[in-house]
Structure 1
Amino acid sequence: MVDITIRGAGIFGLSIAWACARRGASVRVVDPNGPAAGASGGIVGALAPHVPENWNEKKAFQLASLLMAESFWAGIAKTGGVSPGYARTGRLQPIADERALVLAQSREDTAAELWQDHARWEVIAAPEAGTWSPPSATGFLIRDTLSARVHPRQGCAALVAALGVIGVEIVKEAPDEGQILHATGVAGLAEISRAKGKTFGNGVKGQAALLAFDAGPQAPQLFADTLHFIPHADGTLAIGSTSERDYKDGHSTDALLDDVLARAIAAMPVLRDAPLIERWAGLRPRSQSRAPVLGEHPIYPGQFIANGGFKIGFGMAPRIAEVMADLMLEGRDQIPEGFRA
């Protein structure tokens, strides 16, 4: 018998298994498709904050999680000996016009108030950013020091290795034992929608590309023309992504990714001759509320859920793991009201 059965070996399931096992619980993770088979097996890995204004519980939760991320991933890498590709390298964004410049400057004050001494959001002159930066029509950029990156596949591989060291098995089939947590992504949202007779959540398709381009191990991520440019530590550069609600095939790339690549080169001409390593497509679980869904499962009484990571699953995972471990192991409920099923 195990204390906890976790169904789903994506970033939420693996992270919660790690948090629970470190507190002494015996944990088993069950996934018929294996670790990182869904959206968690992607290539982008932008851990970026919300704009520092109109503060709410979701933004506060995400800030806490982003600040936990460095120690979270360092502990995993140390235990399992596999790097997740994490680094807090910051982010640069071009400022398109004078109106956007005024708005960006006003956000410096709110960031100082909300982020305090943990990170900075600032407007800088383009030459201060160095050679790896997007062209800016105004000559100014937004730079934040909170954004980080992790390579999603490597992050999941690092978790699998660390879990193996501390005795957590990951299997394709096993009976439910102990407390049950469902972290089953798009399939789990669809199951709830069918049971409820209304949309609880769905999959939103994303397409991304991986280029052979080494911007440097500490190069900042860029956000230009609504695209993320993520320099990974292994000398690759991820570019993404689309957000598609209507699609026929959730796992194949098409002309929309061609458009992403064309826009990426227009925004960063230095990428024009970079070899394309991989085209990726997958479905990311988005709840109807757009927030992660945590706590008591809506159709399985006495069981738990952690789902709806959508685009911010890796950024939210460190804090979600601790909150769910608090709930399942100690009965302490710290889930924000807006995250409840």
Structure 2
Amino acid sequence: MVDITVMGAGIFGLSVAWACARRGVRARVIDPHGPGAGASGGIVGAMAPHVPELWNSKKAFQLESLLMASDFWSEVAEVSGHSPGYARLGRLQPIADAAALKLAAERIENAATLWQGQAEWRIIPESGPWCPPSATGQIIHDTLTARLHPRQACAALVAALRARGSEVVTDGKPTGRILWATGIAGLDALSAAHTRIVGNGVKGQGALLAYDARDQPQIFANEVHIVPHEDGTTAIGSTSERYYDDPTSIDAQLDDVIARAVAAVPALSGAPVIARWAGVRPRSRSRAPMLGAHPFRPGEFLANGGFKIGFGMAPKVGAVMADLMLDGIDRIPDDFKPEASL
């Protein structure tokens, strides 16, 4: 007997299934393409917070999720026997000029309040080879940013679900309570059922370098994320392409991303590129995740629109969707509900 069916084995679908399985519910996750076949099968895995200012429900939700992440992924690793590559090692960002330095200083106090004393936003001197050059000689270091390896994280969730008696399959009949977490295909279906575009796909390209900085913080510089992974590789990403012909093609835009990463961290110069990835990430019209009752399938549920922050949002998304599906308890912010994008 299956209690819930999740259509889609990306990070939102797997996380909701896991949150339900933790409560003793048997889940079936169905995805014809297999786990992490879409945007969740990427290679970058930067889980970074929004800046601590102009606070809103999206930023508050993301903060709660990032603070939940350590326990969430530790349990997944323990149950599954597979590492998701999670670590909260922080992030470095160069400060370009005096105005940016003043703004960064103002955010120190904001972070102390808004991040509830559980993480810091600091300004530190530029120092060492694993540090981007900064025009001011100063660097932002936040201690909230974390990393994981997206493919490893999806594989660990699949193994954890199976260890708890749930299943992840490529075909099957939906039964029980049904959740749709089908990424860009789901957004296209919502748009087709509505009178306007509900969301769209944004293509991203990333690369994996054979460079071991596994214990170092990630870097955001030159509009590029540089993310050291637990396995001794370093991920570089990514582009944001609203217009594209082939969603999985690799082109010169990725070469530019790699060049900008090397300019920011010269230590990466000469590191072999061992993998390249391209895929399409689902972005809702409101730019927030779409969570709640499905607008066009009565009695069913929806979780979509993770865009670039799906892995960072996943622990909290799983918790609130499990509350809603299993107990009828609605803890979803109003601007995350599907009607906000309709």
Bin for the TM-score computed over the shorter chain: over 0.9
Structure 2 SS opposite 1:5:
strand
Tell me the amino acid that sits aligned with residue 297 of structure 1: H
Could you tell me how far 1:267 is from its partner in structure 2? 1.4
Instruction: Report the counterpart of residue 288 of structure 2 in structure 1.
Output: 291
Counterpart Cα distance in 2 of 1:3 and 1:270? 51
Q: Deviations over 1:166-206 (max 9, x none)?
A: 01111111112010000000000000001103100111000
Tell me the amino acid that sits aligned with residue 27 of structure 2: V
Q: Deviations over 1:59-97 (max 9, x none)?
A: 000000000000000000000100000000000000011
What is the TM-score normalised by the length of structure 1?
Answer: 0.98
Structure 2 SS opposite 1:6:
strand
Asked if 1:54 is matched to 2:24, the reply is no
Q: Work out the number of aligned pairs and report it.
A: 338
Give the one of 177, 180, 189 matched to 1:179: 177
Asked if 1:147 is matched to 2:159, the reply is no
Q: Report matched runs for 1:16-35 at 5 Å.
A: 16-35=16-35
Could you tell me how far 1:116 is from its partner in structure 2? 2.4
Counterpart Cα distance in 2 of 1:290 and 1:284? 12
Asked if 1:300 is matched to 2:297, the reply is yes
Q: Deviations over 1:117-150 (max 9, x none)?
A: 10000111113xx431111111000000000001
Asked if 1:118 is matched to 2:118, the reply is yes
Instruction: Report the counterpart of residue 13 of structure 2 in structure 1.
Output: 13
Of all paired residues, the percent bearing the same amino acid is 65
Asked if 1:205 is matched to 2:214, the reply is no
Q: Deviations over 1:225-258 (max 9, x none)?
A: 1110000011100000000000001111101111
Asked if 1:230 is matched to 2:227, the reply is yes
Instruction: Report the counterpart of residue 212 of structure 2 in structure 1.
Output: 214
Instruction: Report the counterpart of residue 264 of structure 1 in structure 2.
Output: 261
Instruction: Report the counterpart of residue 138 of structure 1 in structure 2.
Output: 136
What is the TM-score normalised by the length of structure 2?
Answer: 0.98
Q: Report matched runs for 1:315-334 at 5 Å.
A: 315-334=312-331
Counterpart Cα distance in 2 of 1:266 and 1:319? 36
Counterpart Cα distance in 1 of 2:208 and 2:41? 13
Counterpart Cα distance in 1 of 2:126 and 2:256? 26
Instruction: Report the counterpart of residue 102 of structure 2 in structure 1.
Output: 102
Tell me the amino acid that sits aligned with residue 16 of structure 1: V
Aligned residues of 2:202 and 2:242 also touching (Cα < 8 A): yes
Counterpart Cα distance in 2 of 1:302 and 1:226? 42
Counterpart Cα distance in 1 of 2:261 and 2:49? 21
Counterpart Cα distance in 1 of 2:304 and 2:178? 14
Aligned residues of 2:2 and 2:28 also touching (Cα < 8 A): yes
- Superposition RMSD in Å: 0.7
Counterpart Cα distance in 1 of 2:60 and 2:144? 13
Counterpart Cα distance in 2 of 1:184 and 1:295? 14
Alignment gaps of 5+ in structure 2? none
- Structure 1 ranges of 4+ moved more than 2 A: none
Structure 2 SS opposite 1:282:
strand
Structure 2 SS opposite 1:338:
helix
Tell me the amino acid that sits aligned with residue 66 of structure 1: L
Tell me the amino acid that sits aligned with residue 70 of structure 1: S
Could you tell me how far 1:24 is from its partner in structure 2? 1.1
Q: Deviations over 1:194-223 (max 9, x none)?
A: 1103100111000001000001x3210000
Could you tell me how far 1:271 is from its partner in structure 2? 1.1
Q: Deviations over 1:303-322 (max 9, x none)?
A: 00000000000000000000
Instruction: Report the counterpart of residue 243 of structure 1 in structure 2.
Output: 240
Structure 2 SS opposite 1:193:
helix
Instruction: Report the counterpart of residue 312 of structure 1 in structure 2.
Output: 309
Q: Report matched runs for 1:330-341 at 5 Å.
A: 330-341=327-338
Q: Which deviates the most, 190-199 or 67-76? A: 190-199
Aligned residues of 2:129 and 2:265 also touching (Cα < 8 A): no
Structure 2 SS opposite 1:314:
helix
